[in-house]
Amino acid sequence: MRRSIYVAILFLLAAKYLPAQPRFELGFSVGGSNYLGDLVETGLPEFSETKAMFGLWTNYRLAKRGGMRLGFAYAGLSGDDANFSDPAFLENRNFRFTTDLIELSMIGTWEPFAVRRYPGEIEFKKIFSPYVFGGIALVRAMAKPDFSDTPTDRFRERIQIDKRDLPNSPVISFPIGVGFKQDLSKRTVFSLELGFRKSASDYIDGISHAGNPAGGDWYVFGLTSLSFRLGEKDTDDDGIPDKEDNCPQEPGNLSAHGCPDQDGDGIEDLEDICPELAGVYELSGCPDTDGDKVADRFDLCPDIPGTEATQGCPDLDGDGFRDGLDECPGQAGTKLLLGCPDCDGDGIPNDKDYCPTVPGKFEFDGCPFADRDHDGVPDEVDRCPDIPGLAELDGCFDTDEDGIADIDDKCPQLAGVRSNSGCPPLPEKAKTLLEFATRNVKFETGSAKLKSESLKTLDEIAEIMQEFDYYDLSISGHTDSRGKDELNLKLSKERASACFDYLVEKGVDPGRMIHEGYGETQPIGDNRTAAGRQLNRRVAFDLFLK
């Protein structure tokens, strides 16, 4: 047994002399041990049977949150039937035991919040951190069961079996539990831990057949630990081993190879022009907030990327004039004109020069001639001198792009033809309808009352007026030669007026129509024949452009 203890102690002490690695931690523990088995009445340990325990252990950190712990522990366990509330156990069994227990364990630990301990590469922060563990252990339980005061012989046979089967070799157990760590410093840790061990043997207490052979034994460790993190020699305690530290006597940063670096930019203070402000190596440690390769201390626009030529300020057009002072920031220009371009070199910037490609005069706004509307057509030949237009239209504009200047175009918003004064030609369908109306709009004999069959034709004329709203309508009444001239004239006027009134009722703007009567003065047929007189009795409808 002593050999096992020596081997464990030597193994744990050897961790101190392993190649120094910051992953190692060496600790010792003290606390209490207890047991759950045949001599415990409830599912909880009997508090009065708590014994002392101590342990040594070393932990190797496998990852940021997890590690593997190798430990040695010595503990005492005990139990007594006198602790049972039922006196039958004392009257019939009166068992008791003591056990010296040695445990060698291999346990995995998981500490979920361990990453908070090192928020940066070197920066350390003390934390209170929970952890869980589980693993496997080799246990040597030197149990001393006491059956000497058993008052009856009913357990004698089973007691003999237990004495015969009491194991002399180590057995396996399975530790699980929880704990809490509190960092006292970067290298020192205090922890509390509660662990339960399920033994693969029912002889931790030396009692099985005489007790409850169906149930295995458990034992419990509650302990406090003080541990020390081990690593390479670090004289200035900055977390960087001396052999990798360019300034081993003075605390520094990893990024600066262990030398002081107040701003943490990886450039040691002796070489850093801006030691209190994190910067970049290319600018000797000075910051460049906008990343334009101009240090903030020399940058007139430190938050906006610019150029070295404009002292770090933006210059969109690249003319060397920073945008804040450039009156034409989107066009490369000259310093004489505060960054504005002058293509024709007449001293007038392009944005104020109405003839930017032809040298001109200041009084003519950069043009070589007077041009009030600035359309490039001299006023002396500009038919529209106050409205910008096209040179090919003598300075006038063509809104509908039909090649006819607006001043000559009676339909300036609609593309048309020159033969129709710039308006679209009237469709043949509309022309045919007007011709039909002239022959077929009828009235009661000797009256200005429209016949009902004529109303449909007038309705179609109203639709034409709505569709072709750029035309006006002339309505002219005519009669044949029979009757008195003054009565014929009056009747023709009344019939033209009747058509006019009807179209107004149908929504035609009266301002777009004129009406007149001509009596018998404009015949289109021979009044000496019935057919000729019928042609002369008419109301003519003609569209025209004002």
Quote the CA–CA distance of 322 and 319 in Å, as a whole number. Answer: 8
Please give the DSSP secondary-structure letter assigned to residue 192: E
User: In terms of CATH architecture, what is 428-544?
Assistant: 2-Layer Sandwich (3.30)
Question: What's residue 324's pLDDT?
Answer: 66
Quote the CA–CA distance of 224 and 53 in Å, as a whole number. Answer: 10
Question: What's residue 237's pLDDT?
Answer: 63
Quote the CA–CA distance of 509 and 497 in Å, as a whole number. Answer: 15
Other Cβ atoms within 10 Å of 19 Cβ, number: 6
- β-pair partners for 99: 77, 143
Give this prediction's pTM: 0.45
Question: What's residue 53's pLDDT?
Answer: 96
Q: Identify the weakest region by mean pLDDT among 118-127, 411-420, 449-458, 526-535.
A: 118-127
Which structure tokens are listed for 194?
Answer: 């509660």
What confidence category does residue 6 fall into, taking pLDDT thresholds of 50, 70 and 90?
very low
Question: What's residue 18's pLDDT?
Answer: 35
Rg of the chain (C-alpha set): 57
What confidence category does residue 235 fall into, taking pLDDT thresholds of 50, 70 and 90?
low
Give the highest mean pLDDT range of 36-50, 94-108, 249-263. 94-108
Average pLDDT over residues 290-319: 76
pLDDT (tens digit per residue) in 446-491: 889 998 888 998 999 999 989 888 899 999 999 998 989 899 899 9
Residue 178 has pLDDT above 60, yes or no: yes
> Could you identify the residue written with the tokens 């610019």?
306
Residue 1 has pLDDT above 70, yes or no: no
> Class assignment of domain 2-14+24-230?
mainly beta
Quote the CA–CA distance of 414 and 395 in Å, as a whole number. Answer: 20
- Going by C-alpha positions, the residue among 397, 59, 354, 424 that lies closest to residue 230 is 59
Numbered ranges of CATH 2.40.160.20 in the chain: 2-14+24-230
Numbered ranges of CATH 3.30.1330.60 in the chain: 428-544
Quote the CA–CA distance of 77 and 1 in Å, as a whole number. Answer: 17
Average pLDDT, the chain: 84
Please give the DSSP secondary-structure letter assigned to residue 426: P
Q: Identify the weakest region by mean pLDDT among 86-100, 135-149, 165-179, 230-244.
A: 230-244
Other Cβ atoms within 10 Å of 227 Cβ, number: 20
